[in-house]
Amino acid sequence: MTRQPLLLIGASGHAHALLSVLQRHGGYESVGLIDSFQPAGTLVHGLPILGAESDIPELCRRYGVRHLLVAIGDNVQRQAMTTRLQDQMPDACFPALVDPTAVVADDAHLAPGVVVMAQAHVGAGCILGRGVLLNTQSSVDHDSSLAAFVSLAPGAITGGHVQVGERTFLGLGCRVVHRIQIGHDTVVGAGSVVLHDLPDAVVGYGAPASVIRSRQIDESYL
């Protein structure tokens, strides 16, 4: 199989994890990393930093790259970067990347920029919006819907018919029972058990999970 050249936007630990997925996937090969905080030529995770965000259009022309993968774990920042890149390069492609050890139902819909990490699961009839991130061994059961730029930490699990709003984060090992609705920009703490709906822009945790406080959309959670 001929690998398509790809630029990986970011050089953090999440970029390291995505490079591992790319190696197993076999469909894409990163020509280098983009990082605005380290000088070009710096080797990170075995690949060179090719330049900063402002250099991306020229680097795409130089290396014949059409595919971009945004390696930013924070949901708000991942969305902001994706939006800026789309504005700069409307013809760029943001592939959905699925680790070969993951299980994705045939009738699930994965929007551009979705990443499904090792041993994750996407059930029948699920809809994953743009830029959704499912980390290692996370699971979304049948007929659930994750809006754009949602992320599930490793081991987070939802039941069926669950709806999650944009940019919401489900923490490490949390559980969400069937038919729950969680609003946008909400953070569910690690190990929580969600038995009731949660509103927009709150922090919730516990077993059962309850609203602890409100939160700002761009407030850090990682």
SS3 sequence of the chain: CCCEEEEEECCCHHHHHHHHHHHHHCCEEEEEEECCCCCCCCEECCEEEEECHHHHHHHHHHHCCCEEEECCCCHHHHHHHHHHHHHHCCCCECCCEECCCCEECCCCEECCCCEECCCCEECCCCEECCCCEECCCCEECCCCEECCCCEECCCCEECCCCEECCCCEECCCCEECCCCEECCCCEECCCCEECCCECCCEEEEECCEEEEEECCCCCCCC
Q: Which two tokens stand for residue 60?
A: 């795409």
User: Are 4-88 and 97-214 in the same CATH fold?
Assistant: no
Mean pLDDT of 160-180: 98
| Both structure tokens of 148 | 């754009």
**The CATH number of the domain covering residues in 97-214:** 2.160.10.10
Q: What is the pLDDT of residue 2?
A: 83
**Which residue do the tokens 């030529």 mark?**
41
* pLDDT for residue 155 is more than 90: yes
Q: pLDDT grade, residue 125 (50/70/90)?
A: very high
Average pLDDT over every residue of 160-179:
98
Question: pTM of the full predicted structure?
Answer: 0.96
Confidence of residue 95 (pLDDT cuts 50, 70, 90): very high
pLDDT at 193: 98
Per-residue pLDDT tens for 193-205?
999 999 999 999 9
Give percent of the chain above pLDDT 90.
98
* Average pLDDT for 129-144: 98
CATH topology classification for 4-88: Rossmann fold (3.40.50)
Phi, psi (degrees; rounded to nearest 5) at 75: -65, -45
Q: How buried is 33 (Cβ within 10 angstroms: 0-12 exposed, 13-18 middle, 19+ buried)?
A: buried
User: Is 22:6 a contact under the CB 8 Å cutoff?
Assistant: yes
Are 112 and 127 contacting, i.e. CB atoms less than 8 angstroms apart? Answer: no
Residue ranges covered by each domain of the chain: 4-88, 97-214
Specify the pLDDT at position 14. 96
The CA R_g of the chain, rounded to the nearest whole Å, is 17
Tens of pLDDT, residue by residue over 24-79, are 998 999 999 999 999 999 999 999 999 999 999 999 999 999 999 999 999 999 99
Mean pLDDT of 131-159: 98
Residue 1 has pLDDT above 80, yes or no: no
Which pLDDT value is given to residue 222? 81
